[in-house]
Structure 1
Amino acid sequence: MTEPMYSLDDIRTNVTRIDNEILSLLAERRQLSLEVAKSKIQTAKPVRDQTREHALLLRLIETGRELNLDAQYVTQIFHAIIEDSVLFQQAYLQTLANPDSLQPVARVSFLGAKGSYSNLASHHYFSKKQTKLVEISCSTFRDVLHTVEIGNADFGVLPIENTSSGSINEVYDLLQHTSLSIVGEITQPIDHCLLVAVDTQVDQIDTLYSHPQPHQQCSEYLHSLGEITQEYCSSTAEAMQKVAEIKRPNVAAIGNAASGELYGLTPVKSNIANQQENFTRFIVVARKPVDVTSLIPAKTTLIMSTAQKAGSLVECLLVLRNLNINMTKLESRPVIGNPWEEMFYVDVQENIKSGVMQQALEELTHLTRFIKVLGCYPSENVSPTDVEITP
């Protein structure tokens, strides 16, 4: 048996040294990406250059192979690094475009208490802005909006759609009447677990607490449990609190494992969502709209009510097609108090300041009974640049 060249302590010391060097290099690379952003202001070039990203990834894969590193491993790492670089540059450019928005601390309202998915999304979004949070937990979506509207919070974070359960209709309905503007978005991975307060088995559980959305998103797994009582709560955080208080082997909550630790809960079953790729898109609202620089990708969200005649909606959608504006979301909701009348929510990948978007709004104004822009904001979902990985 060959004796190791180094002791385990020596090996761990060297691993720690290398990890620290990697972190230092990542910090240095991030600062260089800031210099890139500054140069793009002078040249008016967009933040993303996917042709260059593609060439960069191919070169890194080849270099990695020479170092006996798997191509998939290299690609995964540098997708994360490129995403961070893009978002870091976008945040810098947005600060320049909105100097009044620069604040070290932000008061943020969200649904539920600490550990709710809205709370996690709030931390995820504002950590990218290097902004500390004053957390304001709310018991309803309406309260989240109202807290911002009356000035008790600077921002509100609301879930708008999920890859499994679809649109969150209550939020769409509330957006019809608010004076707030959408100023940002964040997509949060959702990892639903069955959380318990005491040592138990899945077949002992007969009562399950959660917000209605997780119940929908995990419907297939819950059906497999047979007869089970589903208790609805205002948030996943409230559900976890209840289970922690009840502390019985037949009671569980649906929630995030890390959040469950805050309440002394442990997962008895993980990955219970209908779709393994389970994500929720959240929007961020504020009293004032933001100015989105033309150097970064933007989304514009608007609502409109069309005339009550055949083909009215198609005419509106043709405006977007003819101007080559990509629509990423179309949602219809009933207009409260007006039976059979629909309000349409539309997300498009376009900056409201662009010529084509201004032309689209002008044409849509003539075609609709009502139209309102809910916000223009940076698109912060950085899709990875595809590269073919050959053996």
Structure 2
Amino acid sequence: MESYPLPARTLVEKMSREAAADTGRAIAFQGAPGANSHLAALGYRPDCLPLPCFSFEDALDAVREGQADRAIIPIENSLHGRVADMHFLLPESGLSIVDEYFLPIHHCLMAPDDSPVSQVLSHVQALGQCRKYLRAQGITPVVYADTAGAAALVAEQKEAGVGAIAPALAADLYGLTIVARDIEDSHDNMTRFVVLAREAIVPRHDGPVMTTFLFEVKNIPAALFKALGGFATNGVNMTKLESYQRGASFSATEFYADIEGMPGDPAVDRALDELRFHTKWVRLLGSYPQARARTPA
């Protein structure tokens, strides 16, 4: 609790008490009250009890330990790409992806008053999404743990020339002045969130379904080509494929992938069987309803 700036602590304590009284409605998110993840929790389930957690690990632990029924975690942004560490944290959490949610992201520059801002605090993702605006205004970016936490810290310190980038909700919660609205570099800025639970859920077949999984290729020529061939030959659409390294050996690469469809679909089963044959291991993270179409109509 002490990790939050003082203006956020009272809100965190209140929201934590409410979530503890009805864990079935609690959705854990990373950040201080007023963060984009807070907005995502409310947008995903308006009647939920959002549970603020200081780190991504804390949010995942809250679900694993029964303090919340779900966690909503940002996985990627349309402007700034992958959210750091998610590819490592999700499989280590032991949780399953049961849903996804897309949130339009609109950033505000806020400060204790309307004086000129020369330095701004925010999460690295928000700073990256407002890079052109900050450069044009000559404002120095400073990385902070999360957007709303930065707003709470600015409200606490009231330092001249120092502002924060956060959602408008944070300005309302912490009594800050909005200096500029919609400062993101692209107004179609969108973040994709995944919703995690302790147990996997089999999605209903009344709409498109996504499946997320990880795999590690063998250290041989054409390893990735061989591993992915089954998806092409079986007509399974892969909508996302990202590589990352684990450890310092650089001897093999791990991949994060999304496909349309789910285990139980014959084409998906054949593609996954071929993937397993050509890789060291495959780990399914979950199947869930598709919240936004990937394939053009």
Same fold, judged at TM 0.5 (above): yes
RMSD between superposed Cα atoms in Å: 2.0
How far did residue 220 of structure 1 move?
1.2
- Letter of the structure 2 residue corresponding to residue 210 of structure 1: S
Provide the residue aligned with 1:242 in structure 2: 153
1:194 to 90, 100, 109: 109
Provide the residue aligned with 1:112 in structure 2: 31
Partners of 2:73 and 2:209 in 1: CA distance: 19
Q: Where do residues 1-391 of structure 1 align in structure 2 (5 Å cutoff)?
A: 105-127=24-46, 132-200=47-115, 204-226=116-138, 228-336=139-247, 338-381=249-292
Provide the residue aligned with 2:19 in structure 1: none
**Distance verdict in 2 for CA 1:362–1:382, change over 3 Å:** closer
Aligned residues: 276
**Distance verdict in 2 for CA 1:338–1:385, change over 3 Å:** closer
- Letter of the structure 2 residue corresponding to residue 163 of structure 1: S
Partners of 2:128 and 2:289 in 1: CA distance: 30
Instruction: Give SS of 1:293's match.
Output: coil
Partners of 2:145 and 2:264 in 1: CA distance: 38
Instruction: Give SS of 2:282's match.
Output: strand
**Distance verdict in 2 for CA 1:384–1:182, change over 3 Å:** closer
How far did residue 384 of structure 1 move?
11
Structure 1: tracts of 5 or more residues without a match: 1-102, 387-391
Superposed CA deviations along residues 186-245 of structure 1, whole A, max 9, x for unmatched, are 000000111122122xxx21221111110111111111222x443322111101101111
How far did residue 104 of structure 1 move?
10
Partners of 1:311 and 1:281 in 2: CA distance: 31
Bigger proportion of residues as helix: 1
**Distance verdict in 2 for CA 1:149–1:255, change over 3 Å:** same
- Letter of the structure 2 residue corresponding to residue 143 of structure 1: D
How far did residue 144 of structure 1 move?
1.4
Partners of 1:384 and 1:301 in 2: CA distance: 16
Bigger proportion of residues as strand: 2
How far did residue 338 of structure 1 move?
4.4
How far did residue 151 of structure 1 move?
2.1
Partners of 1:279 and 1:205 in 2: CA distance: 26
Partners of 1:259 and 1:304 in 2: CA distance: 39
Instruction: Give SS of 1:324's match.
Output: coil
- The answer to whether the 8 A contact 1:197-1:252 is kept is yes
Partners of 2:78 and 2:85 in 1: CA distance: 17
Partners of 1:334 and 1:149 in 2: CA distance: 26
Instruction: Give SS of 2:273's match.
Output: helix
Partners of 1:113 and 1:151 in 2: CA distance: 20
How far did residue 351 of structure 1 move?
2.3
Provide the residue aligned with 1:49 in structure 2: none
Superposed CA deviations along residues 16-64 of structure 1, whole A, max 9, x for unmatched, are xxxxxxxxxxxxxxxxxxxxxxxxxxxxxxxxxxxxxxxxxxxxxxxxx
- Letter of the structure 2 residue corresponding to residue 166 of structure 1: G
Partners of 1:353 and 1:384 in 2: CA distance: 21
**Distance verdict in 2 for CA 1:303–1:351, change over 3 Å:** same
Structure 2: tracts of 5 or more residues without a match: 1-21
Partners of 2:91 and 2:294 in 1: CA distance: 30
- The answer to whether the 8 A contact 1:297-1:351 is kept is no
Partners of 1:384 and 1:330 in 2: CA distance: 16
Percent of paired sites with the same residue: 34
- The answer to whether the 8 A contact 1:107-1:155 is kept is yes
**Distance verdict in 2 for CA 1:349–1:384, change over 3 Å:** closer
- The answer to whether the 8 A contact 1:188-1:279 is kept is yes
Instruction: Give SS of 1:176's match.
Output: helix
- Letter of the structure 2 residue corresponding to residue 126 of structure 1: R
The answer to which of 253-262 and 362-371 deviates more is 253-262
Partners of 1:195 and 1:214 in 2: CA distance: 13
How far did residue 336 of structure 1 move?
3.0
Instruction: Give SS of 2:199's match.
Output: coil
Partners of 1:368 and 1:382 in 2: CA distance: 29
- The answer to whether the 8 A contact 1:303-1:371 is kept is yes
